[in-house]
A and B are shown apart, each in its own frame.
Chain A
Amino acid sequence: MPPRVDLTKCDGCKAQDEPLCEQVCPGNLMTLNENSQAMCRESSDCWDCMSCTKVYPVGAIETRVPYQIGYHGAKLIPMVGTNSITWTSIDINDKVERFRCKTRND
């Protein structure tokens, strides 16, 4: 399932040449559309690595969970701290689960 961009929030990283999501995407899928806002150019190729979602500074990208794991409407939301990431998973029945993973971000 591809990343969804909230176009009201995305500022195209102030329209620099290469926005953050484009830099981090391992499949080189993210790019800017004609309005200088982020978009995924080949949604079928996205393998839900969540890199763009984690890195996004204003929280404009959301990744839906693949249907094999949760049906439409299920979400996985990261919150990046200095040395940990906290994941919130919301399934289609609105059940919320939270995980905190230490990272070696420092």
Chain B
Amino acid sequence: MGTNPPQIGLYIIDPGETLAEIVDLQAVIQKCAKIRQVEVCEVISDIWAEQSLQTVQETVTENRIDRLVWVGTFTAQQKKTIQNVLLEVGVNPYLHEWCDLQLQTIALGKGTEKTLLGKTLTVIEMALARAKQLQPLVPIKLPASDSVVVVGAGIAGLHAAASFIERGKRVHLVEKQSGVGGKVALLSRFYPLLCNPQCGIEYVLKTLRNSDKLTLHTLSKPLAVEGNAGNFSVTIQSQPRYVDTDRCNGCGLCSNVCPVELPIFLDNIQDEPPFQEAKGIGGLIKETRRAIHASVPFSFPESFVVERASCPEGCCKCEDACPTKAIDLSEQLPAEQNITAGAVLATTGWDPYPLSRLNNYHGYGQHANVIGNLEMEQLLSQISKGSDIPLFPSEGDGNRVGFIQCSGSRNTKHLSYCSSVCCSATIKQIKQLKTLRPDAKCTVFYQDMRCNGFEEELYRELRSTSDVLFVRGFPKVEASNPPEGTKLTLVCEDTFSGRPITTELDLLVLAGGMQPSKAGVEFAELSGLPLNDHNFFEGHYQCYPEESQRTGILTGGCARGPMNASQSIESAGRAAMKALKFLEGTISIEPTYPVVNQLKCDQCKRCVEECPFDCYRLNDKGFPEPDLSKCRQCGNCMGICPVSAISINHLTLKQLAVQIEILENSFLDYEEPIILAFLCENDALVAARSAMDKGLNVPMNVIHIGVPCAGAVNNALIADALSIGIDGVLIGGCKDGQCHYINGNQLVNKRSGDLADKLKTMRVEPERVQSLSLEIHEAERYVTILEDYIQSLKAMGPSPFKL
């Protein structure tokens, strides 16, 4: 601001002279023109006429006014247009003050002429008082990195990486296994086209293979995530591959000479390996891999990798056999490196629920022919490749296959949620099994078949097939160490007919559930992200599902909950879309961020403690400083500060205080209570506005002030309001658990509890300060609450501070 006090232009917008019918606008103009610093005071009947805004523009260019107060009713679009028009003559968008008569119940036109005029004058005065305090603000830009770290190279991670590369961003893909692909690479077919996932992965790899923007870190895991959005510093640790990825041409000569044979894949997917050596699928799948083998689960990168732990002492046959001298078996230590990234994307995926925990139920790990659904996928892919595996091990080549759904899911003792993909997966497996072995007789034991969307059609198709039997009920499998050669017999009650069913099977597939991956839980721990009750990543599922509590870290795919491959890809795409804004090279931050007044701050650190996004740090002098790239501008720090030292720009405590001060002179009769309502802009204010739009009978007693979050209301403001004789203060926030800023409404409840105690000692009724939670559609409830509140305030009598 210059040395001159700001000059204000007051414009009352009255389209169609509807306002003039309610309020005596000439009286308003006369009164307002006398207020200091009001230079221009006009009624504009048609603001959208061409000359109207031009006149305003000219007034500005003549340097007569530099703050503008608009009185009337405006939509957000209209505000934007007016701001843009005046930006042409250099008026900062933050120098407009909007006095919304609709919101302040005046446009409804209910009440006597005198009160309407009084209230109009009051709210205009409030707007003028605030306008005098307005400051021009510009968004700030922070430098940022343009690379991104994607943790987990499953199908979600690969698709996200591909989206980033298409936008020209540098991607660091961190994968704990030796190759990409994750769980999808283990599948035999995937939805909805039932094609081979190897082909799907190959397709997305086409983008990645030819790009120099991709850095793939295999056998790696993140150790630490420091910093904030735009400038994360991610430490990753990589285990040695013992094969030079640049030199290796993937010829496979090394594998041929390797003396070690390892069973394929099982140890990769099961954290708790369920099988003893001789039993189960270990015997079913004949294919083995050597200690030096191509990357698993999908051979990208094309380089081989050595499992050094299983190498025999002193063996270096592969080293000798390698034609390109790519193998180096000398002892190597894990390497650590730091990556600077603008955003981090966690696509850490899922792990199969350990079915060995179900051995009480279904005999997994005890019967040779009881397998999990992921193993079934492997089995099917082996068979479709043409290997002559006896599908049904115990009886040579029987043909009866059973599937038990919800094995471990939807069970309070195991996974209490539905894993959402197993029903369709079983349908898919049966379909493929029928093409490979048309004579197979399948029985599905289910609780409910949950085939969502188009998958229902596949289910119906299968249901009409005569040799697939669907039984609603859970079978019993004799579990505790059956003697060798026992037939697999299932006893079950068909809950539709109520009759017991006894079935002999040759193979039993348990449709095990999805649990969050161990790597995901570890990542959450090291990056400080909250997990939900089921250990998936927490997020606001409707409003910003892919965003986490730490700005700049996004989550996608099955790390957020059970989903199938295509949903996972969609989720990763959305997360990548959200991440792009942190990768622009600069981050633009809205100027409405909090500012700490160091002259007032006494370093009590309450803001550091209470900030929902943990964005306050102490600077070298011990004063708190918000990290603007983390800050979501909720204003909870402004509300919590005991010495009123923190204000968010454009809604400073000073700006609010001067508005409240105007209310000292009541616009109503002495007996009529005046209520000041601070409403959260996300929910409560919208509910109030819609009450007005619906024409509900909102009492005249209330003055609305919008705040970004109920938690932004400082107790000093309430004290201000009470001490000038306002009868009641309402603080409206979201319902518990729905706050967009995590816990703003809880913070305000706690604070108003403290204030209530204080009021009690001051012999003031503590009910004069009320906090309410309001959902966005509860316009009618809001009016009821207001009416009840006015009644109770009337019963209490006028505020003891009222003059």
Contact = CB atoms under 8 A, between A and B. Distances in A.
Q: Are A and B a genuine interacting pair, yes or no?
A: yes
A83 B719 contact: no
B76 interface: no
A44 interface: no
A98 interface: yes
Contacts, number: 80
A87 to B, nearest CB: 9
Contact of B801 (A20, A24, A82, A86): A86
A77 B604 contact: no
A79 B723 contact: yes
B722 A86 contact: yes
Q: Which of A56, A80, A81, A105 has the most CB of B within 10 A?
A: A81
Contact of B720 (A19, A57, A77, A81): A81
A55 B723 CA distance: 17
Contact of A79 (B603, B654, B722): B722
Contacts of A80: 716, 719
A interface SS class? mixed
A15 to B, nearest CB: 10
B223 interface: no
Interface in B215-261: none
Contacts of B719: 79-81, 86
A13 to B, nearest CB: 6
Contact of A14 (B606, B755, B764): B606
A23 B609 contact: no
Contacts of B661: 83
Contacts of B657: 81-83, 106
Contacts of B762: 77, 79, 88
A98 B603 CA distance: 31
Contacts of B603: 16
A82 B723 contact: no
B177 interface: no
Given A82-B657, A86-B801, A98-B800, A58 B754 contact: yes
A66 interface: no
B interface SS class? helix
Q: Which of A20, A56, A58, A105 has the most CB of B within 10 A?
A: A58
B605 A59 contact: no
Contacts of B606: 13-14, 57
B128 interface: no
B761 A9 contact: no
Contacts of B605: 13-14, 16
B610 to A, nearest CB: 9
A100 B654 contact: no
B758 A59 contact: yes
A63 B502 CA distance: 82
B643 interface: yes
Contact of B643 (A55, A90, A100): A55
Contacts of A81: 657, 716-717, 719-720, 723
A20 B720 contact: no
A57 B723 contact: no
Given A16-B605, A57-B642, A98 B716 contact: no
B664 to A, nearest CB: 10
Nearest to B761: A77
B642 A20 contact: yes
B604 A13 contact: yes
A100 B644 CA distance: 18
B17 interface: no
A90 B714 CA distance: 26
B674 interface: no
Contact of A100 (B656, B723, B758): B723
A84 to B, nearest CB: 6
B757 interface: yes
Contacts of B761: 62, 75, 77
Interface residues of B, number: 32
B754 A9 contact: yes
B750 to A, nearest CB: 9
B763 interface: yes
A96 interface: yes
B472 to A, nearest CB: 56
Contact of B644 (A23, A75, A77, A105): A105
A90 B763 CA distance: 9
A88 B642 CA distance: 20
Contacts of A9: 754, 757
A54 B653 CA distance: 19
A82 B754 contact: no
Nearest to B758: A59
Given A14-B609, A20-B604, A98 B801 contact: yes
A59 B800 CA distance: 20
A54 to B, nearest CB: 10
Nearest to A60: B754
B602 interface: yes
B754 A20 contact: no
Nearest to A89: B762
Given A9-B754, A81-B719, A106 B609 contact: no
B720 A84 contact: yes
Given A20-B602, A82-B717, A105-B644, A77 B723 contact: no
B297 to A, nearest CB: 49
Given A14-B609, A75-B761, A88-B763, A82 B642 contact: no
B758 A106 contact: no
A52 to B, nearest CB: 12
Interface in B757-803: 757-758, 761-764, 800-801
Nearest to B800: A98
B602 A23 contact: yes
Nearest to B762: A88
Given A20-B602, A98-B801, A59 B757 contact: yes
Interface string A4-17: 00000100011010
Contact of A96 (B643, B720, B722, B800): B800
Interface string A59-99: 10010000000000001010111111010101000001010
Interface in A7-39: 9, 13-14, 16, 19-20, 23-24
Nearest to B600: A105
B723 A84 contact: yes
A16 B604 contact: yes
Nearest to A86: B723
Nearest to A101: B723
A79 B654 CA distance: 17
Contacts of B758: 59, 77, 79
Given A16-B605, A106-B654, A59 B723 contact: no
Contacts of A59: 754-755, 757-758
A23 to B, nearest CB: 6
Interface in B550-607: 602-606
Q: Which 10 A-B pairs have the closest CB atoms?
A: A57-B642, A81-B720, A86-B723, A82-B657, A59-B758, A81-B719, A88-B762, A79-B719, A82-B716, A58-B754
Given A19-B604, A20-B642, 17 more contacts: A9-B757, A13-B606, A14-B605, A20-B602, A20-B604, A57-B606, A79-B719, A80-B719, A81-B657, A81-B716, A81-B717, A82-B720, A83-B661, A86-B722, A88-B763, A90-B763, A96-B800
Interface of B: 602-606, 609, 642-644, 653-654, 656-657, 661, 714, 716-717, 719-720, 722-724, 754-755, 757-758, 761-764, 800-801
20 contacts: A9-B754, A13-B604, A14-B606, A20-B602, A20-B604, A20-B642, A59-B754, A77-B758, A79-B719, A79-B762, A80-B719, A81-B720, A82-B654, A82-B716, A83-B720, A84-B720, A86-B719, A86-B801, A98-B801, A100-B723
